[in-house]
Amino acid sequence: MGQLVSDVTKVLDYKESKNSAKTERQKILAQMAEDEKTKTNLIKKILSEQRAKYGATGNSGKTLTEEAVLKRMRSETEQPYDEKYKNNLEKMKKIKTSKPNLIKTWLSNIDKIAG
C-alpha cells in the first residue's frame, strides 16, 4: 500500500510542478511582451521629441532620413531590453519538469512488492 501512495504522490507532484512551470513561462512571456511594448513606446516618444525639436528650429525634418534616426534611437534604447530578453530566454530554458518513471520505480522495488 505504501508503494501505491508513493506513486500517487509522485504523479500529483509532477502535475503540480508542470502547472507551476507553465505559469512561470506565461509570466516570463508576459514580461517580455511588456518590455517590447515599453521599448517601442520609448522609441516613439524619442522620435516625436526629435521631430518637435526640428520643427521648433524651422526644419521640416525631411533633410534627415527617418530610417537613420530610427536606427540610431533603436540602437540607443535596445541594449537594456536586449539583455532582459536574453535573461528571460535563459530563465525559460531552465524551467523544466521531469515525469516520474513509475515502471522503473516498481521494478526497482519488485522484491519489496513480491515479499
* % of the chain exceeding 90 in pLDDT: 8
Judge whether residue 60 has pLDDT over 70: no
* pLDDT at 45 (0 to 100): 83
Mean pLDDT value across residues 37-45: 84
Global confidence as pTM: 0.56
Domains of the chain: which residue ranges?
2-114
* pLDDT at 27 (0 to 100): 92
- Mean pLDDT computed over every residue of the chain: 77
Q: What does the pLDDT look like over 64-110, one tens digit per residue? A: 566 676 677 777 777 778 888 888 888 888 887 777 777 777 677 66
| CA distances to 3, 6, 19, 104, 112 from 108, in Å | 11, 14, 28, 6, 9
